[in-house]
Amino acid sequence: MSDELESRYRRLLAWYPWSHRRVYEEEMLAVLVAGAEPGQRRPTLGESANLIASGLGARLRAAVPGFANPSWVDAAAVFGLLAALVLVSQRIVRLFDPFGLAPELYLRAADWGAVVLAAAAGLRRVGAVLAWATVVGEAALLAGRYDTDPVSTIQTLWPFALGVVAAAALTVPAPPRRALAVLRAPRLVAFVAGVGLIHTMTVVNRHQRVSMFEDGGGVSYMWYGFESTSETVLYLMLAAVVVGAVAAALAAFTLPGPVWRRIALLLAPVAAIAAIVEYTLEGWAYSNMHMGHPIYLVPVQWTLLIAVPLAAFAAGSLLVHRLEHTARLAALGRTADRERLEPSQ
């Protein structure tokens, strides 16, 4: 029984970075086991939550000095610019949305446009300040809208999260115009064209829906939110989205390995939020549509929206660290083999 409890505690302690566990794991384990109740077979919920939260905090503190290395500097600079481009493109295209235009959309498009210009011009601090100011403003708008329209508020959390990560990335010190130097013109053009094409297709799709509604419905073809009365038009829209996604992905993932891996890591929390909203909160959104009054998220759902993205970033950090550590060891091994063979040649 004690061995089973100890094994469970060790699994929880794995949330801590290896440098911390190497020094303190046995001592922490002894304290945890000594404080357990007689006959206890598993950690309590409070112990589990505390160890996971403390472990993630330790990993974050251990990772902070690493943000000064060149790969993180380049990745943060590139991610900040690309994320701002995604957000300004989304808002500019939505100005042509046939379902109505929120009055603040002009201001939000202008704000992120200013962030893009500042980052491209090498005014990193100005861009970071503008990005944080925009994020704070959008947080206030989302909070005000949640009371009356919780579903659309939660469904727009991923762009908000992208803005938060972009602001944090732009805060990382970097040389002027570093993002443009790393990306170069062909990648930047491909990314802007790809993202613009995807957002344009979403608005075209909404115009299709307006036309279908005005025509009284009828037979329609649908796939993952894209809908049209013409199967050919549907396939053309989907093909355009795929082309745009491939162009944007190639722009980011043809960067040097250490840079694109960190860009993917910065994107992980945003992707986690989008996945939770799409697949976990689908029933909640459906209930809101049919109950006639707003249904708000419960604490467990809010915890999921916060904890999973943080865990995704922590797990991604660990994976990137191990991959690169393994690659360094392999490179050292190859170098040692060459040095050992050279005298015999």
Q: How far apart, in Å, are the Cα atoms of 298 and each of 18, 197, 240?
A: 35, 37, 38
Q: Tell me, what's the pLDDT at 22? A: 85
pLDDT digits over 281-329, tens only? 988 988 888 777 888 999 999 999 999 999 999 888 888 888 888 888 8
Q: Tell me, what's the pLDDT at 1? A: 47
Q: Which of 6-10, 157-161, 224-228, 288-292 has the highest mean pLDDT?
A: 157-161
Query: Is residue 249 pLDDT above 50, yes or no?
Result: yes
Q: Which of 1-5, 52-56, 170-174 has the highest mean pLDDT?
A: 170-174
pLDDT digits over 167-182, tens only? 999 988 888 899 999 9
Q: Tell me, what's the pLDDT at 5? A: 85
Most distant CA pair in the chain, distance: 84
pLDDT higher for 34 or 337? 34
Grade residue 215 by pLDDT with cuts at 50, 70 and 90. low
Give, to the nearest 10 degrees, the angle between helix 299-341 and helix 45-63.
50
Query: Is residue 244 pLDDT above 50, yes or no?
Result: yes
CB 193 within 8 A of CB 154: no
Distance CA(52)–CA(13), nearest Å, equals: 8
pLDDT higher for 222 or 252? 252
pLDDT higher for 228 or 116? 116
Q: Tell me, what's the pLDDT at 47? A: 86
